[in-house]
Structure 1
Amino acid sequence: MHATPKINLIDIGAVGGLGLPWQGHQDKLDWVLSFELNEPPQLTGKRLRYDCAVWNFDGEATFHVSGIHGTGSSLLKQNIDWVRQNY
């Protein structure tokens, strides 16, 4: 009998843990590598979370924290006027 293939997942901006659809299908996941600056680093079994932001260069940059529990945080500065006009 063959083992069912599993998915390795990279989650960038992983505040609050796995979202949909993965939250309801964790049995289909093997390794999970996540990056979330607003949460402490953690290694649990095959789940590894780094407390850093991901960008296209090495170095330091300003990290803009916004949203409820940091869910809108980014290396990009949020355009508050655009958000107000569209949401």
Structure 2
Amino acid sequence: MSSRERQAAAIHPDARTPPAPGSNARPRRRASERRALVSVREQLQAIKHADVGYPDEAVRVRELMYSVEAFVTLIVRVGWAKMGADQVTRLCQRFAA
């Protein structure tokens, strides 16, 4: 790691760390992404453990589920967009098989 990379990591410790060239490692998710998912999970757990079954809780559960679905959709689309054309072709061939 160069001194510039160390300095950037010290300033932005939750920034994505790119994988080494040729490795299969994925970059780490940012702390804000982890917090978003943890926050949704905690809110769903609070509703799950509540002994009351108000109709607005069902609405809130749906909203939280939609937020998780949107997060996953975004991540998948970004992943597809960052792939090279050859990788996309291979995946499409595998899905077709």
Give the TM-score band, short-chain normalised: under 0.3
> Computing the radius of gyration over CA atoms, which structure comes out larger, 1 or 2?
2
Report the structure, 1 or 2, having the larger strand content. 1
Report the structure, 1 or 2, having the larger helix content. 2
**Which structure has more RCO (C-alpha within 8 Å, separation ≥ 6)?**
1
